[in-house]
Amino acid sequence: MAPQLDGYFQKVDELSDKFIDRLRQAVAIPSVSAEAARRPDVVRMGQFLADELTKLGASVELRQLGKQEGTDLDLPPVVLARYGNDKSKRTILVYGHYDVQPAQKSDGWDTEPFELVIKEDGRMCGRGSTDDKGPVLGWLNAIEAHQVAGIDFPVNLLMCFEGMEEYGSDGLDDLVYAEGKGFFADADAVCISDNYWLGTEKPCLTYGLRGVNYYNIEVSGPGADLHSGVFGGTAQEPMTDLVRIMASLVDSEGRILIPGIAEQVAPVTPDEEGLYDGISFSMETLYESLGSKTTIFDDKKRTLMARWRFPSLSLHGIEGAFSGSGAKTVIPAKVIGKFSIRTVPNMEIEKTNEAVVRYVEEVFSKLGSKNTLKVYPQHCGRWWVASPNHWNFSAAAKATERVWGVKPDFTREGGSIPVTLTFEQATGKNVLLLPMGSSTDGAHSINEKLDKRNYIEGIKLLGAYLHYVAEEPMN
């Protein structure tokens, strides 16, 4: 199958310096979507992609999305592109994002974050290298390598690259749903490369993500902050109520204590449980990531199932409370506790929200406090699960084995990529998550990197996937 891949792989190797330079140019554009002052740079990054795609012969549109909600800022454009329009070929839709997280050298970076620095061990350090500029450029590089090799591109490629993913993808959902029967109408399947291997040695294909419901608990009482020396012992303190409520949500073993949550979770079948046995994952790798051995479980299977298959509740912080160094003897008048629940099949957003609100209100009522309570979801995103038996996944598995010489693990992830479900619902097609980078890349963190090997072999993988997906039987 896919006999022309050897020639394609050879050209990827020959062009590797050019492809690294393309990534260097992209990393140098500080496209931080969360900072208003950097919005022109985000737009410049979108234009860079549009220019590169146009040079490669793609038809490109910079789709304007209007103003960012609550501001006078223009949203960065979505890059919509098509390469090929052969009715006899399958059409694959790919998604990625060209914005990045904030980064400054003073955050603790070893190098300038917006300069691609290649270390002796092959680590290519720079903000956005792995999240998500490397994978996005992988699709462009795949097109160019086919052209230079004189090999016919195996599919029609639709591309959707956005510039607000790191700041909530403002405006994207409306566009995707609007174009589900428009620009994306002839897509046969969807591929997203915006996630990572489970470890560092073995590639994976991802078929599931947890959802996330994020909540605020507001407790207020006095009309203003109080001096604890004057009012301590005389006023019912909002912070005391809030801490007691938050302590009642989850225990130290990770068990969610809210009735109506665990009852929604789909039961684990014996076949499903067996999928975890062969996955390449070690607890030592997890300990290294944690910087400690403070895991709830000591074995692989229970750890992975807790991370992917079951819901979790995390406490994130308290707004309005003193958090600086030193001592401040203030009684805050109003505090807002923040927590989230990572959701899984078959949990429903509304049913989960109702259970949370009911439970928090019951706990508060038992305190007998004269303070005032509000509890509400701040935002919610649904879980996603695809069929790993779909031809889209089987083609990707064959491509992975061809490039990396090993069958991939089929994994879920504990995090959320809301656009995955959006594309599935808008197009009605199977969505595949095909990662380029590894678990140690440090996306969102200091010293973010993409290994040179993962970048170059990842370009081969994306191209090979398109060849195999072009001929995989649709059954």
Active site residues: 99, 165
* Dist. CA 240–CA 231, nearest whole Å: 14
Residues in Cβ contact with 88 at an 8 Å cutoff, skipping those fewer than 6 apart: none
* Dist. CA 450–CA 28, nearest whole Å: 15
Q: Tokens representing 374? A: 């509000």
* Dist. CA 455–CA 134, nearest whole Å: 7
Contact 409, 425 (CB under 8 A): no
CA-to-CA dists, residue 118 to 105, 112, 183, 300, 440, angstroms: 17, 12, 38, 33, 16
Angle at the Cα of 188 from the Cα atoms of 185 and 190, rounded to 5 degrees: 95
Q: Verify cis geometry, omega within 30 degrees of 0, for the bond prior to 132.
A: yes
CA-to-CA dists, residue 332 to 114, 238, 294, 438, angstroms: 40, 7, 33, 43
Rounded to 10°, the helix 452-471/134-149 angle is: 60
Residues in Cβ contact with 352 at an 8 Å cutoff, skipping those fewer than 6 apart: 213, 260, 261, 264, 341, 343
Contact 455, 19 (CB under 8 A): yes
Angle at the Cα of 427 from the Cα atoms of 93 and 48, rounded to 5 degrees: 35
H runs (alpha helix) in 121-269: 134-149, 172-179, 228-231, 238-247
* Residue 474: Cβ within 10 Å count: 9
* Dist. CA 248–CA 265, nearest whole Å: 21
* Dist. CA 47–CA 60, nearest whole Å: 10
* Dist. CA 313–CA 430, nearest whole Å: 29
* Dist. CA 463–CA 385, nearest whole Å: 25
Q: Verify cis geometry, omega within 30 degrees of 0, for the bond prior to 346.
A: yes
Angle at the Cα of 313 from the Cα atoms of 310 and 314, rounded to 5 degrees: 135
H-helix or E-strand spanning residue 392: helix 391-404
